[in-house]
Structure 1
Amino acid sequence: MDGLGDEDDGLLWERDPEKHRVASKAMSPAFSSNALRAKIPTLNKYIDMMISQMRDHGQDEAGLDVSEWFTWLAMDSATDLACGWELHELRDMKSHDFLEGMDAAGMLAIVLSTAKIYPILTPAVMLLTSWRAMTLIPKMINGLRAKVVERIERRDSLMHPDFCEQLLPVGKEVPKTRKQLRHMLTVLGQLIIGGYDTTSVVTYMFFFFVLRNPEVLRELKREIRENFPRYEDITAENLKSLPWLNACMQETLRVVTVATHHSLPRISPGAMVNGIYVPKGVICRTSLFTYNRSERFFHDPSSFRPERWLARDHPKYDPVFADDNHRGYMPFITGPRQCPGREMAKITFRLVVSKLFWSFDVVQVSKRLEFDKDFRVYSIWTKPELRVRFLPVKREV
C-alpha cells in the first residue's frame, strides 16, 4: 500500500521521524489493552469458523493445504478488523481478488526496489511483472477505497470495534480532501498487510516446524489439553501463562523473521556507532534474520528448539541454551518504530494454535519440505503447499 498517497507513507513505512511520531500517536489508542480486548470477539469468530470448516473438510485422505487456510484466516480477520470488510474467504474456501492483489503487490515491491538500486536494469525487471499483476493491484486499491468510503458512511452504526474507528472517531469530521482519504487508505492498507502477513506466516511456519518435531508437538498438546477441559475455557488471558506454548511462539518468531528478511531502512542523523561515524543521510539497515540465526548469539541457531525460552526451573529446560543472548531478540523491532500490532499478533498465535491442537490431532500428508530449499521471500514470504489431515480428538463424554 506504499504510495497510495502523495508523499504519504502512512504509519508503518513513514521514514520521517516527526511524521511517524504524529501518525503513531494518532493510532496508539487502537492498540491499548482495552481496545485489543474489544477486538478479540471478532478474531475468535474467524478462528472458530476455521475450526468448524476443518472439522467438516479436514479428515479426507488428501488433507487441507494449511498455506491456504491460514492465509484465509489472516486476511478475513485483517480486513474485518481494519474497516469491517468481510471477504468471506474461510466461508467460501477460496481466495478473494483483494488477496491476489496483495500477493502481486508484494512481488512488485521487490521489482521496483531492485529497479531503484540498479536503474539500468529497469526494463528487464519490469518484464518480470505480469500484466495480471498490473491489473490486480489497482483493483485491490479501488476495492479498499470503496470499503473505506462505505465505512465512513456508516460511522454511526458499527458492527464491531475496528481500526478505522481510531482514524475516524465519533465527532471528528469525515475526510474532505483526497489527501485526507489517501492517508486513511494508506494507514489501513498497512495495518491489513501487517495483520495478514504476520498471522499467515507465523502460524504456517509454526506448523512447518512442529510437524518435523514430534516431541515439541506432544508436549504442546499435553499442555493445552490438560489446562483446558473445555474448548470454551480457552481465552486470550488464560493462554498467557502457558510456558511451552509461549516458548513455541518465541522460537517461531526467532527462526522466521516476519514480513521481510531485513528491518525497514533508517536514515542516520549523523552519529557514532561502535566507534564508526555514520554520516548524516546514510540509509542504515540490519538483518534480523541473520542475527537470529547466528552462533554468536544462539546455541544451535538453525534448529527449532523452544526449550531455549523456558525458565530454568521448567522440566523441559536444557542448560545448553544457558548462554543464549536474548538481548538482541526483537521480532517486532524496538524503540519508536516497534510494531504497534505486536500484542495482537501474540494473542492471535496463542488462540489459533491452542484451539487447533485442543480440537485436532494432525498428520502431514504432503511431501517433506526443507526450509532453506523450498521457501522464498519477496517482501512477503511465499508458503509452499503443506497438506495436513485434521482428525477430531475423541473425548469421553
Structure 2
Amino acid sequence: MVAPHVNTRNRSCMWPAASKLEIFCSFFRAIPVEMAIHTLVSAILLVVVYAVGVVVYRLWWHPLASLPGPKLWAISRLPWLWHMVKGDLWRALARLHDEFGDTIRIAPNEVTTLSTSAWQEIYTAQPLLLKDTFSQTPPMNGSPSLFTAENETHKRIRGILAFAFSSKALREQAALIEHHNSRFVARINRELEQHKILDINKFYGYVAFDTITDLSYGESTACLDIPGPHTWIEKFFLHAQYSAVRNSLRWYSPIDKILDFCFLGITRKTREKNWSVAAAKIDRRLSTREARADLLTPVIGRVSEEENPRKGVTKKEILSNALALVIADCQLTAGALTSCTYFLLKSPGALKEVVKEVRSAFQRDGDITVQAVQDLVYLGAVLNETLRIHHPSPISLPRTMPANSSRVISGTLIPGNTIVGVSLQNIFHCPKYWHKPDEFHPERFLPPSDLRYDPMFDSDNRAAFMPFSTGPRNCIGAKLFFAQARLALAKLIWNFDIQGAEPCMDTWPDHRVFIVLEPKPLHVRLTRRES
C-alpha cells in the first residue's frame, strides 16, 4: 500500500479551527482548580479593598470631607446622576439644603451653595472660573457658541454680539417684536372662533419662536400663521433632555459615547436638514445689505474666513450661535410666560392688579409697544416674582476650580478640581433671604415708594436674586427676554379676559427639569375683552 502523503512542512495550517479552540481551552483546564479559585478570590478582594479605600478616602481624607451633605452622595456620583436622569435634581437639592445647610457637598468633587457672596466669588472674581465641561454639550457643528466658548474665544464672540442685545439695538428691534406680538393676538382670535379653551403654552411658544428666528436668521418661521399644532418646542426640549442625560453620563464614559452613537445616528438626517435650512437663511441675510435691525446686524461685514480668527466670527460660529440663541430664547421665554400666567391665575389679587395697570395705561391695542410696557411697574414685578418662584432653568451654574488653585467661597476653602455653583432655584426660595419664599407676591419687587408695596418684604435680600447670573458670562439676552415677555403679557391681558381651565392646577408646577423646565400644557379660557 502507498502511505498517504503528509505535508510535514506546515502542519499547523492544516489544523481545523475546532482543534485550536480545544488547545486554547486545554491550557486553562491545565490550571489547578485551587489556583483558579485563589486567583478569583484575590481579584475580588482587590476590588473590595480598592472600593473600601475609595469610600474611606472620600468620607474622611478628601479635601471636601469636612463639608456637610449626604454620605452616599459624597461617596459616589450615582445619586446625583439618578436625580439628573429623573429630571428632579432641583427638588432633591432643595431637600438637601433644607437638611444640611447653605453650602453642601453633592458629589465626590462637587459643591453647591446658597450664599449671596458666592455670586461674586464664583462668577465675577478674577481669575474667572471656567464652566464645568461635564455640564456642556459640544456644539453639533464643532464651532463654539456663547454657551460653550471659553477665554479669548468667548470674549471675541460676545464682543461682536453684545451690541445686538444693547438697549439701543432693542429700540431698533422693537418694531419687529411688536409685529410678531400683533400676530400672536390675531392667532388667538382665530383660535377662539373654534375653541373656547386653549393651551396657552403653545401660543407663547409660537410667538417666541417666530420672534427669535426672525431676529437670529433674518426670517421668521411663521408658526403663528400656519394652522394646527407645531412640534418645535417639544423637539427643543428633547434636545435639552438628551443633552442633560448625555452630559451626566460623561462621568461614566464610554456610556455617553454609546448614547451619542445611537441618538445622533438616528437624528443625523433631520439634523443635517435643519442645519442646511438655517445656513441658507443666514446666507440670505448676510448677502443682503437691507437696513434691518436684528441679531445679525453687528455681524455683517465681520465674517472671517479663518478657522480660528483673532477678530470677527466664522460662518460656522454664526450658525452655532444662532441655533443656540433660538433654542434658549424660545424655551425660556415660553416657559416663563406660561409659569407667569399660572401664578396670576392662582393669585386673583395679583391678576386684578396687573389687569388694572395694563388696561388703564393704554387706550387701544396699537399703543402697546416695547417702549411703553417698560413703564408698567407692576407687570415687571410680576415677571420678576415668576423668575424667582419658578425659574425656567432651575439648575446649578457649575464652575470648575483650577487643579492647582483654591478659593474661599461662602467662607469655605474650596480646593482645586472642585465643581462649585450657586443653586439657582434654591437660593430664590431660601427662607433666610425671602419672606414667605414659597408664595407668589409680586409686591416684593416693587419700589418701597410704590403704594402697592408691602413693608413685610423689607427683610428680603435682593442680592440673592440673579435670575440671569452675573459677571462677564451672565445671560446676554436679559433685556430681550423682558421686552418679549412684557409685551406678550400686556397684549394678552389688554385684549382678553382670562380664566383657568387646567384640570390639575395644583400639580401643574411639578415639572421635570433637563436644563430647562419640561413644557407642559396650561389650559385657559380666554374671552375677547369688551371694549
Instruction: Give the TM-score, by structure 2 length.
Output: 0.67
Which deviates more, 55-64 or 381-390? 55-64
The counterpart of 1:162, out of the listed 294, 303, 314, is 294
Deviation string, structure 1 residues 49-80 (Cα, Å, up to 9, x no partner): 01012122236554111111111111111111
Matched, 1:381 2:381: no
Matched, 1:109 2:243: yes
Secondary structure at the aligned position of 1:277 is classed as strand
Matched, 1:193 2:327: yes
> Deviation of residue 187 (structure 1)?
1.4
> Deviation of residue 390 (structure 1)?
1.9
For 1:221, the equivalent position in structure 2 comes to: 355
Secondary structure at the aligned position of 1:64 is classed as strand
**Unmatched runs of 5 consecutive residues or more in structure 2:** 1-136
> Deviation of residue 30 (structure 1)?
1.1
Distance (whole Å) between structure 1 residues aligned to residue 364 and residue 235 of structure 2: 39
For 1:11, the equivalent position in structure 2 comes to: 146
Q: Conserved in 2, the CA contact under 8 Å of 1:111 and 1:129?
A: no
Secondary structure at the aligned position of 2:203 is classed as helix
The counterpart of 1:350, out of the listed 450, 469, 486, is 486
RMSD across aligned C-alpha pairs, in angstroms?
2.8
**Rg bigger for which structure?**
2
Secondary structure at the aligned position of 1:285 is classed as strand
Distance (whole Å) between structure 2 residues aligned to residue 330 and residue 123 of structure 1: 35
Secondary structure at the aligned position of 1:163 is classed as coil
Distance (whole Å) between structure 1 residues aligned to residue 459 and residue 241 of structure 2: 39
Judging changes above 3 Å, is the alpha-carbon distance between structure 1 residues 222 and 394 closer, same or farther for their aligned structure 2 residues?
A: same
Judging changes above 3 Å, is the alpha-carbon distance between structure 1 residues 334 and 122 closer, same or farther for their aligned structure 2 residues?
A: closer
Deviation string, structure 1 residues 244-284 (Cα, Å, up to 9, x no partner): 11110110111122335222535456422244333344332
> Deviation of residue 162 (structure 1)?
1.6
Which deviates more, 336-345 or 314-323? 314-323
> Deviation of residue 178 (structure 1)?
10
The one-letter code of the counterpart of 1:163 is L
Distance (whole Å) between structure 2 residues aligned to residue 149 and residue 371 of structure 1: 45
For 1:51, the equivalent position in structure 2 comes to: 185
Secondary structure at the aligned position of 2:488 is classed as helix
Distance (whole Å) between structure 2 residues aligned to residue 371 and residue 174 of structure 1: 50
Matched, 1:367 2:503: yes
For 1:65, the equivalent position in structure 2 comes to: 199
> Deviation of residue 181 (structure 1)?
2.1
Distance (whole Å) between structure 1 residues aligned to residue 355 and residue 270 of structure 2: 41
The counterpart of 2:226, out of the listed 92, 115, 120, is 92
> Deviation of residue 89 (structure 1)?
0.7
Deviation string, structure 1 residues 27-64 (Cα, Å, up to 9, x no partner): 11112222111111111111100101212223655411
Judging changes above 3 Å, is the alpha-carbon distance between structure 1 residues 364 and 93 closer, same or farther for their aligned structure 2 residues?
A: farther
> Deviation of residue 233 (structure 1)?
2.1
Judging changes above 3 Å, is the alpha-carbon distance between structure 1 residues 4 and 165 closer, same or farther for their aligned structure 2 residues?
A: farther
Secondary structure at the aligned position of 2:241 is classed as helix
Distance (whole Å) between structure 2 residues aligned to residue 137 and residue 234 of structure 1: 38
For 1:239, the equivalent position in structure 2 comes to: 373
> Deviation of residue 3 (structure 1)?
1.3
Alignment of 1:113-124 (within 5 A): 113-119=247-253, 122=256
Deviation string, structure 1 residues 283-342 (Cα, Å, up to 9, x no partner): 322211110011111111111111111223433322221111111201011111121111
Q: Conserved in 2, the CA contact under 8 Å of 1:72 and 1:95?
A: no
Distance (whole Å) between structure 1 residues aligned to residue 261 and residue 162 of structure 2: 41
Distance (whole Å) between structure 1 residues aligned to residue 487 and residue 424 of structure 2: 26
Secondary structure at the aligned position of 2:225 is classed as helix
Q: Conserved in 1, the CA contact under 8 Å of 2:237 and 2:519?
A: no
Secondary structure at the aligned position of 1:335 is classed as coil
> Deviation of residue 359 (structure 1)?
0.7
The one-letter code of the counterpart of 2:251 is I
The one-letter code of the counterpart of 1:245 is L
Judging changes above 3 Å, is the alpha-carbon distance between structure 1 residues 123 and 371 closer, same or farther for their aligned structure 2 residues?
A: farther
Distance (whole Å) between structure 2 residues aligned to residue 65 and residue 372 of structure 1: 13
Judging changes above 3 Å, is the alpha-carbon distance between structure 1 residues 161 and 277 closer, same or farther for their aligned structure 2 residues?
A: same
Q: Conserved in 2, the CA contact under 8 Å of 1:105 and 1:133?
A: no
Matched, 1:327 2:463: yes
Matched, 1:27 2:161: yes
For 1:257, the equivalent position in structure 2 comes to: 391
Deviation string, structure 1 residues 128-182 (Cα, Å, up to 9, x no partner): 9598656544443333223223333x33235x3221222223xx45647699222
Judging changes above 3 Å, is the alpha-carbon distance between structure 1 residues 350 and 373 closer, same or farther for their aligned structure 2 residues?
A: closer
Secondary structure at the aligned position of 1:10 is classed as coil
Distance (whole Å) between structure 1 residues aligned to residue 276 and residue 231 of structure 2: 11
The one-letter code of the counterpart of 2:289 is D
For 1:341, the equivalent position in structure 2 comes to: 477
Matched, 1:394 2:526: no
Distance (whole Å) between structure 2 residues aligned to residue 124 and residue 208 of structure 1: 40
Q: Conserved in 2, the CA contact under 8 Å of 1:13 and 1:264?
A: no
Distance (whole Å) between structure 2 residues aligned to residue 17 and residue 173 of structure 1: 20
The one-letter code of the counterpart of 1:294 is C
The one-letter code of the counterpart of 2:470 is T
The counterpart of 1:38, out of the listed 153, 159, 172, is 172
The one-letter code of the counterpart of 2:440 is F
> Deviation of residue 18 (structure 1)?
2.7
For 2:453, the equivalent position in structure 1 comes to: 317
Instruction: Give the TM-score, by structure 1 length.
Output: 0.88
The counterpart of 2:438, out of the listed 272, 282, 302, is 302
